Amino acid sequence: MNFRPTIVAFLCNWCAYTGADLAGTSRLKYAPNIRIIRIMCSGRIDPTFVLKAFQQGADGVLICGCHPGDCHYQEGNYKCLRRFKLLQKYIAQMGIEKERLQLEWISASEGKQFSELVNNMTKTMLTLGPSKIKSSLEVEYIK
């Protein structure tokens, strides 16, 4: 089988992205399936971003921010956590496996944890198989 999952990852600038950067500068090898989008804070993630990523063919969406209490903007990651939990309840109702949307806290020093996270999530996506969201929107009788 040659299914290569695509995971869209939203990483906050201050901790998670720096952590991912550390994975790179430490030359840690991890699955190449991730497409990283850097944002200032996990609190900036509008649920629209997540839904659009799925709509356009992402097999999984990963959100990473600073650990609780460490957000550069105090509260952003708590907002993110609440929105994430709402999104999880919503996507489950829409028939989408909850594992396709994951949230993890990654500090600037957690390069190793980041690489393991990406590897694990990639494995999970391989077990789940390709997301059907995009194809479900391409109905044959359109226009």
Partner 1 sequence: MPLDTITSKPKLKLAIYWGAACGGCCVSVLDTHEKLLDIVAAADPVFWPIAMDIKYKDVEDMPDQSIDLTLFNGAVRNSENKRMAQVLRKKSKILVAYGACAYMGGIPGLANFFTKEEIFRRAYEESESTLNPEKIRPVPEYEVPEGKLEIPVFFNDVLPLNKVVDVDYYIPGCPPQSERLIEVFTAIVTGAALPPKGSVVGALEKTNCDECKRKKTDNKKVKKFYRLWEIQDDKETCFLEQGVICMGPATRGGCGVRCVEGNSPCRGCYGPPAACSDPGAKMMSAIGTMIDADKPEEIDEIIESIVDPAGLFYRFSLPGSILGRKLS
Question: Tokens 């944890």, residue?
Answer: 113
Q: Say if CB 42 and CB 87 are below 8 A apart.
A: no
Strand order in the sheet with 7-12: 34-39, 7-12, 60-65, 101-105
In this chain, which of 11, 20, 96, 117 binds partner 1, going by CB under 8 A? 96
Point out which span in 2-10, 20-28, 44-52, 117-125 binds partner 1 (CB under 8 A): 44-52
The site partner of 41 among partner 1, ligand FES, none (C-beta below 5 to 8 Å per kind) is ligand FES
Does 90 sit near partner 1 (CB under 8 A)? yes
Report residue 134 as tokens.
Answer: 């995009």
What residues between 123 and 142 interact with partner 1 by CB under 8 A?
Answer: 132-133, 136-137, 139, 141-142
- Token pair in block for residue 129: 């198989």
Nearest approach, Cβ of 137 to partner 1 (angstroms)?
A: 5
